[in-house]
Structure 1
Amino acid sequence: MFRLLALCIILACAIPQQALADKPVVVFAGTAAQPPLEEAAQTFQSKTGLRVILHLGSSGSMLNQAHLTGQGDIYIPGSPDYMQKALDFKLVAKDSVTIAYLVPALVVAKGNPLGIKSLDDLKREDLRIGLADPDGVCVGLYAIELLHANHLLEPLRPRLKGMVESCAKTAAMIPLNMVDVVIGWREFATWQPDTMEVILLSPEEIPRLAYVPGAKLLSASNPEGADAFLSFLASREGQAILQKWGYLTTEAEARQFAPKAVFGGTFPLNEVW
């Protein structure tokens, strides 16, 4: 009888720990770093046995999901301004990790068949120009600021196309031949190198650089798993996955593309859009 009672006590103590180990880590993430995030999630699961469920979309829609549902363990937007919104909503812990850095660039079809060489070439009336919705997608907001800073927003406004709902959909406009050039991230070209390439901008043309932050949601049902996955993303192994996909992992690397650009902060979209 005593042995049976002892066994029951042991099992009762073990069940919560096992349940915790079996509980997945739920991530709401923007798609600015989708390919390396997907690979990192698979690698993390192989190493730890903890499953990572990635919900991917625009930084704005993922923020809304976390806010409205009160669920999820981690929020990873594509730029720090959305993390600030999450902090303002009291959705995330104040401590965050920096996962990667992003540089605005022009994205064109492989081989650059239309000979686009610079931002100034966007004035050509034969070009179809694509970008993301600036109201909910980080790269769309950065694109509008870029055009505004270079006095191109008003001349090009009638010809801007797409206004798609995520970074992934923005990048897809090129291989789908929806547009001729996309104002996106430098990193997009590594997603489908057989179909896309980037045109780097002059350093003085880039007003702002971005980074991809990650933070634990205060409503996390698996806080230990969230901490573990965030630590993995910031670790040498996690950063190596980002680097393999062509992402920059230090501020110094990003600064080489635009030494005088602002890092972080936000752009007052409603004043120009």
Structure 2
Amino acid sequence: MQSPPAETKPAPSGQPLFAYVGAGLKEPVTGLAALYEAQTGIKVELTFNNSGALLSQAETAKKGDIYMPGGKPFVETAQKKGIIEKVVGPVAYHVPAIITPKGNPAGIKDVRDLARPGLKLVLPDKEATAIGKNAFKTFAQLGISAAVEKNILASVETMPKVPAMIAMGQGDAGIAEYSSIAHDQDRLEVIEIDPAVNVIDEIPCASLTFSNQKERAQDFLEFVQKEGPGVFKKFGFKVPQP
């Protein structure tokens, strides 16, 4: 007797969800979106940029369903602007770390070393990116902001550009997400920043007030809260303990 065909879930009608996502979260969120589509049939279109630019884009367009920046302060700013419906998280943590070329030729051992005269640093923008904003909070705590500023070779608009430039030999060190060398360990090294001074951010996921698919957006938030930590962990991010 022939087995009945496996039941398949029909693709839902309607538009895909649209999500504004921090550039440093590209790999795990792309994975989450693919997993969500496989489970539900609902496509999630993603646009990536620095968290500040995405907030401006969402506020101006007044379109879209999901906002997932690299840090909680950007969601708090969006809440003050009245464009956030619901928030879940933390899905994972955004942990600043020092990135150097393989072998650490400049001999950097501590975040205070970034103030050493003559170093060439590649840093994420201190206003537009979550990692850059938090790195400068650490520099301010230590009283080294001015000295670090003098060493900046390049201030880049998205965090993933930091390891890319350091891997190409364009700088002695940079600040990036702890997970950012996961695929390039032959060319890069990571030096953790002392937790006593490091400013670690929560990565949230939020729905937007002007979404015209609020039930689906809420369903996606619940999915990200449940599945997100496991996916982020696979990409080297530090995540909440169960």
Please give the TM-score of this superposition, normalised by the length of structure 2: 0.88
Q: Name 2:219's counterpart in structure 1.
A: 228
| Compared CA separation, residues 40 and 18, structure 1 to 2 (3 A) | closer
Give SS of 2:160's match.
helix
Residue 191 of structure 1, CA deviation: 4.5
Structure 1, gaps ≥5 residues long: 1-16, 254-273
| Compared CA separation, residues 204 and 196, structure 1 to 2 (3 A) | same
- Is the contact between residue 35 and residue 191 of structure 1 (CA under 8 Å) also seen in structure 2? no
- Is the contact between residue 117 and residue 147 of structure 2 (CA under 8 Å) also seen in structure 1? no
Q: Name 1:213's counterpart in structure 2.
A: 204
Q: Name 1:197's counterpart in structure 2.
A: 189
2:237 pairs with one of 247, 250, 267: 247
Give SS of 2:171's match.
coil
What code does the residue aligned with 2:223 have? F
Separation in structure 2 between the aligned mates of residue 54 and residue 127 of structure 1, nearest angstrom: 37
- Is the contact between residue 30 and residue 167 of structure 1 (CA under 8 Å) also seen in structure 2? no
Separation in structure 1 between the aligned mates of residue 174 and residue 216 of structure 2, nearest angstrom: 37
1:150 pairs with one of 135, 142, 152: 142
How do 1:147-186 residues align onto structure 2 when only pairs under 5 Å count?
147-186=139-178
Separation in structure 2 between the aligned mates of residue 57 and residue 184 of structure 1, nearest angstrom: 15
Residue 42 of structure 1, CA deviation: 1.4
Query: Are 1:19 and 2:5 matched, yes or no?
Result: no
- Is the contact between residue 24 and residue 222 of structure 1 (CA under 8 Å) also seen in structure 2? no
Higher-helix-fraction structure: 1
**Residue deviations 1:190-219 (CA, integer Å, cap 9, x gap):** 25333322101223232x220111110011
| Compared CA separation, residues 18 and 187, structure 1 to 2 (3 A) | closer
Bigger Rg over Cα: 1
- Is the contact between residue 26 and residue 73 of structure 1 (CA under 8 Å) also seen in structure 2? yes
Query: Are 1:238 and 2:228 matched, yes or no?
Result: yes
**Residue deviations 1:90-141 (CA, integer Å, cap 9, x gap):** 1111433321112221111233233322123223334211111112111111
Separation in structure 1 between the aligned mates of residue 147 and residue 156 of structure 2, nearest angstrom: 21
Q: Name 2:23's counterpart in structure 1.
A: 31
- Is the contact between residue 73 and residue 222 of structure 1 (CA under 8 Å) also seen in structure 2? yes
Question: Number of paired residues?
Answer: 232
Residue 55 of structure 1, CA deviation: 0.5
Q: Name 1:79's counterpart in structure 2.
A: 71
Separation in structure 2 between the aligned mates of residue 195 and residue 223 of structure 1, nearest angstrom: 44
Separation in structure 2 between the aligned mates of residue 224 and residue 175 of structure 1, nearest angstrom: 43
Give SS of 1:125's match.
coil
Structure 2, gaps ≥5 residues long: 1-10
CA RMSD, aligned part only? 2.0
Separation in structure 1 between the aligned mates of residue 183 and residue 222 of structure 2, nearest angstrom: 24
- Is the contact between residue 166 and residue 172 of structure 2 (CA under 8 Å) also seen in structure 1? yes
Query: Are 1:48 and 2:40 matched, yes or no?
Result: yes
Deviates more, 1:192-201 or 1:210-219: 192-201
Separation in structure 2 between the aligned mates of residue 45 and residue 94 of structure 1, nearest angstrom: 21
- Is the contact between residue 60 and residue 137 of structure 1 (CA under 8 Å) also seen in structure 2? yes
- Is the contact between residue 112 and residue 142 of structure 2 (CA under 8 Å) also seen in structure 1? no
What code does the residue aligned with 1:215 have? A
Separation in structure 2 between the aligned mates of residue 193 and residue 232 of structure 1, nearest angstrom: 31
Q: Name 2:6's counterpart in structure 1.
A: none
Residue 18 of structure 1, CA deviation: 4.6
Question: Identity of paired residues, percent?
Answer: 28
Q: Name 1:260's counterpart in structure 2.
A: none
Separation in structure 1 between the aligned mates of residue 92 and residue 179 of structure 2, nearest angstrom: 10
Residue 224 of structure 1, CA deviation: 2.6
